[in-house]
Amino acid sequence: MGTRRKSRELTMQMLFQGDLGKQRPEQVQKLFWASVEDVDAETRGFAEDLYRIATTRDEEIDNLIEAHAQNWRLERMPVVDRNLLRAAVAEMLGFPNTPAAIIINETLEIGRRFAAPESIHFLNGVLDAIARDVLKARLA
Protein backbone atom coordinates (compact mmCIF):
# COMPACT_ATOMS: atom_id res chain seq x y z
CA MET A 1 0.00 0.00 0.00
CA GLY A 2 1.32 3.43 -0.94
CA THR A 3 2.17 6.12 1.56
CA ARG A 4 -0.66 8.43 0.51
CA ARG A 5 -3.30 5.67 0.58
CA LYS A 6 -2.15 4.61 4.04
CA SER A 7 -2.36 8.25 5.18
CA ARG A 8 -5.89 8.56 3.79
CA GLU A 9 -6.89 5.35 5.54
CA LEU A 10 -5.44 6.55 8.85
CA THR A 11 -7.24 9.88 8.46
CA MET A 12 -10.57 8.12 7.95
CA GLN A 13 -9.89 5.99 11.02
CA MET A 14 -9.15 9.05 13.17
CA LEU A 15 -12.30 10.77 11.92
CA PHE A 16 -14.27 7.58 12.62
CA GLN A 17 -12.86 7.39 16.15
CA GLY A 18 -13.69 11.02 16.87
CA ASP A 19 -17.16 10.68 15.38
CA LEU A 20 -18.14 7.61 17.39
CA GLY A 21 -16.34 8.61 20.57
CA LYS A 22 -17.43 12.26 20.47
CA GLN A 23 -13.82 13.18 21.23
CA ARG A 24 -11.99 16.42 20.60
CA PRO A 25 -9.38 16.27 17.82
CA GLU A 26 -6.47 16.47 20.28
CA GLN A 27 -7.84 13.51 22.23
CA VAL A 28 -8.31 11.49 19.07
CA GLN A 29 -4.77 12.11 17.88
CA LYS A 30 -3.25 11.24 21.25
CA LEU A 31 -5.20 7.99 21.62
CA PHE A 32 -4.99 7.02 17.97
CA TRP A 33 -1.24 7.39 17.53
CA ALA A 34 -0.62 5.58 20.82
CA SER A 35 -2.32 2.52 19.33
CA VAL A 36 -0.75 2.59 15.85
CA GLU A 37 2.60 0.98 15.15
CA ASP A 38 5.04 1.11 12.26
CA VAL A 39 3.95 4.33 10.56
CA ASP A 40 6.75 6.28 8.95
CA ALA A 41 7.02 10.06 9.38
CA GLU A 42 5.85 10.89 5.85
CA THR A 43 2.70 8.77 6.15
CA ARG A 44 1.91 10.14 9.59
CA GLY A 45 2.57 13.72 8.50
CA PHE A 46 0.17 13.57 5.56
CA ALA A 47 -2.48 11.84 7.71
CA GLU A 48 -2.15 14.56 10.35
CA ASP A 49 -2.40 17.29 7.70
CA LEU A 50 -5.61 15.77 6.29
CA TYR A 51 -7.04 15.26 9.77
CA ARG A 52 -6.27 18.87 10.74
CA ILE A 53 -8.02 20.17 7.63
CA ALA A 54 -11.00 17.86 8.21
CA THR A 55 -11.41 18.99 11.82
CA THR A 56 -10.74 22.70 11.38
CA ARG A 57 -12.97 23.02 8.30
CA ASP A 58 -15.54 20.51 9.53
CA GLU A 59 -18.56 22.77 9.15
CA GLU A 60 -17.66 23.71 5.57
CA ILE A 61 -16.94 20.06 4.70
CA ASP A 62 -20.17 18.77 6.26
CA ASN A 63 -22.19 21.45 4.44
CA LEU A 64 -20.64 20.43 1.11
CA ILE A 65 -21.42 16.78 1.75
CA GLU A 66 -25.02 17.42 2.74
CA ALA A 67 -25.57 19.73 -0.22
CA HIS A 68 -24.42 17.01 -2.64
CA ALA A 69 -25.80 13.90 -0.95
CA GLN A 70 -29.34 14.14 -2.25
CA ASN A 71 -31.94 13.09 0.30
CA TRP A 72 -29.30 12.14 2.87
CA ARG A 73 -28.60 13.90 6.14
CA LEU A 74 -25.10 13.43 7.48
CA GLU A 75 -26.24 11.81 10.72
CA ARG A 76 -28.20 9.18 8.77
CA MET A 77 -25.21 8.07 6.69
CA PRO A 78 -23.17 5.05 7.78
CA VAL A 79 -20.30 6.22 9.98
CA VAL A 80 -17.65 4.84 7.62
CA ASP A 81 -19.23 6.54 4.60
CA ARG A 82 -19.49 9.97 6.15
CA ASN A 83 -15.91 9.86 7.40
CA LEU A 84 -14.57 8.66 4.05
CA LEU A 85 -16.40 11.62 2.51
CA ARG A 86 -15.01 14.02 5.11
CA ALA A 87 -11.43 12.86 4.53
CA ALA A 88 -11.78 13.10 0.74
CA VAL A 89 -13.37 16.55 0.81
CA ALA A 90 -10.67 17.74 3.23
CA GLU A 91 -8.06 16.66 0.71
CA MET A 92 -9.90 18.35 -2.17
CA LEU A 93 -10.01 21.60 -0.22
CA GLY A 94 -6.56 21.44 1.34
CA PHE A 95 -4.52 19.99 -1.50
CA PRO A 96 -5.79 21.60 -4.70
CA ASN A 97 -2.87 20.23 -6.76
CA THR A 98 -4.01 16.64 -6.22
CA PRO A 99 -6.43 15.79 -9.02
CA ALA A 100 -9.95 15.09 -7.79
CA ALA A 101 -10.03 11.87 -9.83
CA ILE A 102 -7.14 10.49 -7.78
CA ILE A 103 -8.77 11.49 -4.48
CA ILE A 104 -12.04 9.88 -5.54
CA ASN A 105 -10.37 6.69 -6.76
CA GLU A 106 -8.34 6.36 -3.57
CA THR A 107 -11.46 6.93 -1.46
CA LEU A 108 -13.32 4.23 -3.38
CA GLU A 109 -10.45 1.78 -2.87
CA ILE A 110 -10.47 2.46 0.88
CA GLY A 111 -14.25 2.20 0.81
CA ARG A 112 -14.02 -1.25 -0.76
CA ARG A 113 -12.02 -2.30 2.28
CA PHE A 114 -14.06 -0.62 5.03
CA ALA A 115 -17.53 0.28 3.72
CA ALA A 116 -20.49 -1.79 2.59
CA PRO A 117 -20.39 -2.82 -1.09
CA GLU A 118 -23.45 -0.69 -1.89
CA SER A 119 -21.69 2.39 -0.51
CA ILE A 120 -19.21 2.62 -3.38
CA HIS A 121 -21.70 4.09 -5.89
CA PHE A 122 -22.99 6.53 -3.27
CA LEU A 123 -19.47 7.70 -2.37
CA ASN A 124 -18.53 8.06 -6.03
CA GLY A 125 -21.62 10.12 -6.86
CA VAL A 126 -21.29 12.48 -3.91
CA LEU A 127 -17.55 13.02 -4.38
CA ASP A 128 -17.89 13.57 -8.12
CA ALA A 129 -20.55 16.25 -7.53
CA ILE A 130 -18.45 17.93 -4.83
CA ALA A 131 -15.33 17.82 -7.02
CA ARG A 132 -17.16 19.58 -9.85
CA ASP A 133 -18.31 22.35 -7.48
CA VAL A 134 -14.88 22.73 -5.86
CA LEU A 135 -13.24 22.97 -9.30
CA LYS A 136 -15.88 25.45 -10.49
CA ALA A 137 -15.24 27.61 -7.41
CA ARG A 138 -11.49 27.60 -8.07
CA LEU A 139 -12.00 28.70 -11.66
CA ALA A 140 -14.38 31.51 -10.72
Please say whether the beta carbons of 63 and 52 come within 8 A. no
**Complete domains list, the chain, with CATH:** 3-139 (1.10.940.10)
* pTM of this prediction exceeds 0.75: yes
The model's pLDDT over 70-129, given as tens digits with 9 standing for 90+, comes to 889 999 999 999 999 999 999 999 999 999 999 999 999 999 999 999 999 999 999 999
The whole-number average pLDDT for the span 48-68 is 96
Q: Is the pLDDT of residue 19 over 90?
A: yes
Neighbouring CB atoms inside 10 A of 132's CB total 12
Q: Pick 128 or 134 by higher pLDDT.
A: 128
Average predicted confidence (pLDDT) for the chain:
93
pLDDT in the model for residue 1: 61
pLDDT in the model for residue 133: 87
DSSP string, 18-45: HHHHT--HHHHHHHHHHH--S--HHHHH
